[in-house]
């Protein structure tokens, strides 16, 4: 099983969308294995977005992400990275399909409600930034036998 990192950004938290987002991912059959609600420190924001440090939008992004609490999660499932990306929709909410999280709740690319890992490799890196190994739970969902062909 793969794991993916997902973060409800400050605009999603402020708009009361945490429960809706968790519900959509659970209803899809994905398994929540770690979660934490917090205001991110600068060091972790810088590490999370290190590929954007030299880009002109980074200072605003950093201010925005640090401007309010976020909800950090680790989700597990077969092909979870690709599945989560489809559920959340295109980065630009104006291009996101209706029925996706960004398509239903986002308006502006700079306030697009949610972040999710874009590859298995970035998921491992992002999970490592925000969670210690012992903070990620291992368990079997009671419905896994009907979710997957083995």
Q: Which residues are catalytic?
A: 115
C-alpha to C-alpha distance for 138 and 46, rounded to whole angstroms: 29
**Other beta carbons within 10 Å of 10:** 20
- 23 contacts 109 by C-beta, under 8 angstroms: no
Strand partners, 3: 76
Strands 114-116 and 31-38: unpaired
Concatenating the DSSP letter of every residue in 20-44 gives HHHHHHHHTT-EEEEEEEEPPPHHH
């Amino acid at each position: 099983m793969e794991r993916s990192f997902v973060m409800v950004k400050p605009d999603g938290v402020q708009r009361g969308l945490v429960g809706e987002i968790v519900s959509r991912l659970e209803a899809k059959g994905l398994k929540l294995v770690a979660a934490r609600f917090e205001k991110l420190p600068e060091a972790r924001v810088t590490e999370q977005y290190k590929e954007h440090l030299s880009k002109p939008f980074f200072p605003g992004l950093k201010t925005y992400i640090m401007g309010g609490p976020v909800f950090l999660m680790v989700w597990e499932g077969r092909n979870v990275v690709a599945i989560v990306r489809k559920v959340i929709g295109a980065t630009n909410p104006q291009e996101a399909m209706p029925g996706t999280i960004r398509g239903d709740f986002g308006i502006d690319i700079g306030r697009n409600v949610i972040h999710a890992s874009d590859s298995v490799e970035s998921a491992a890196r992002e999970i490592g930034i925000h969670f210690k190994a012992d903070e990620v739970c291992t368990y079997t969902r009671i419905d896994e036998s009907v979710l997957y062909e083995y």
